[in-house]
Amino acid sequence: MVYYKTAEEIEFLRESCLIVCKALTHVASIIRPGITGNDIDKAAEEVIRDHGAVPGFKGYRGFPGTLCISRNEGVVHGIPNDIVFQNGDVISVDCGSIKNDFYGDSAFTFAIGEVSDEIMQLLKVTNTSLYLGIEKAIAGNRLGDISYAVQDYCERKNSYGVVRELVGHGIGRNLHESPEVPNYGRRGQGLRLKEGLTIAIEPMVNMGVKEVRQSDDGWTIITRDKKPSAHFEHSIAVQKGRADILSNHSEIEATLANNANAHQVGVLANVLENSPVGLE
């Protein structure tokens, strides 16, 4: 069952998504070599609760953290721990919140300290593919148009591996609603997009092969060849002509621009400069 949202419900979703992005912005202000996943997890939970929301992931299907923190070859669903971040790490941080019975969901991948140009290119391509997918999330298109845009850019044009086993999803009163939103597919196929559909689009892109496996902790998904992975996510509402992006990464990027991660912002800043979607 696909649930289409009213204008009021979309605003509730937006509020929850923006709280998530405030938590991610705070993470951006403190993430650096020497701190741990548990450090940023605790900080993000405090931000979420300070805004009258509750963490959307904590306790969900037994997950123990507020954030999914996936390091280097980690793709998604990493559990916060006390392992310190090192110079050169890439850390995917996925966050959810609940307020007014609606979920917010967004993710951003952070480069820690001095990261190779090769890895920065992976982040740039993954982030660009997110906005290319969003460009197709308009009424009248098909779900496969989103999927194809992501896959074509990442795989055919940049020779990365797009993860198949994990996908985006509908979002609303439940964290995961129909429809699933794969990052691979065919143009013109799948559900026809209508106004009021709210979905989370989240490319998960590997530097090497597309294949993944689950680690021994029962949660973290890692690349089979142990090469780095990147993950960016926005929650959006389908509209006519242009998608409504409910989450917002601009404060995250502004925060990074004021600290040692300014290079990351420089790499990501030219994403779809001339696009009708563009960076918020």
- pLDDT tens for 205-260 read 999 999 999 999 999 999 999 999 999 999 999 999 999 999 999 999 999 998 86
Distance of alpha carbon 50 from alpha carbon 48, whole angstroms:
5
Mean pLDDT across the chain, nearest whole number? Answer: 94
Q: What is residue 274's predicted lDDT score, i.e. its pLDDT?
A: 41
Options 3.30.1540.20, 3.90.230.10, 3.40.50.300, 3.40.50.150; CATH of 7-268: 3.90.230.10
Q: What is residue 149's predicted lDDT score, i.e. its pLDDT?
A: 98
Q: What is residue 271's predicted lDDT score, i.e. its pLDDT?
A: 54
Q: 181: helix, coil or strand?
A: strand
In the predicted model, is pLDDT for residue 280 greater than 90? no
- The distance in angstroms from the start CA to the end CA of the chain is 31
Nearest to 133 by CA among 61, 57, 52, 193: 193
One-letter amino acid for residue 119 of the chain: I
In the predicted model, is pLDDT for residue 275 greater than 80? no
pLDDT digits (tens, 9 = 90+) for 104-160: 999 999 999 999 999 999 999 999 999 999 999 999 999 999 999 999 999 999 999
Domain ranges of the chain: 7-268
Tokens of 266: 């420089």
**Can you tell me the mean pLDDT for 34-58?**
98
In the predicted model, is pLDDT for residue 267 greater than 90? no
Contact 236, 104 (CB under 8 A): no
In the predicted model, is pLDDT for residue 180 greater than 90? yes
Q: Is 25 left (phi over 0), alpha (psi -120 to 50) or beta?
A: alpha
Q: 21: helix, coil or strand?
A: helix
Distance of alpha carbon 202 from alpha carbon 127, whole angstroms:
9
CB atoms < 10 A from the CB of 250, how many?
A: 11
CA dihedral 234, 238, 239, 241 (to 10 degrees): 70
In the predicted model, is pLDDT for residue 65 greater than 70? yes
Between 100 and 261, residue with greater pLDDT: 100
Confidence of residue 262 (pLDDT cuts 50, 70, 90): low
Tokens of 278: 């563009």
Which residues sit opposite 192 in a β-bridge? 142
Q: What is residue 259's predicted lDDT score, i.e. its pLDDT?
A: 80
Q: What is residue 209's predicted lDDT score, i.e. its pLDDT?
A: 98
Find tokens 């940049």 and name the residue. Answer: 158
Q: What strands lie across the sheet with 244-245, from one edge to the other?
A: 177-181, 168-170, 198-201, 234-237, 244-245
One-letter amino acid for residue 68 of the chain: C
Distance of alpha carbon 185 from alpha carbon 152, whole angstroms:
9
Q: What is residue 278's predicted lDDT score, i.e. its pLDDT?
A: 47
In the predicted model, is pLDDT for residue 12 greater than 50? yes
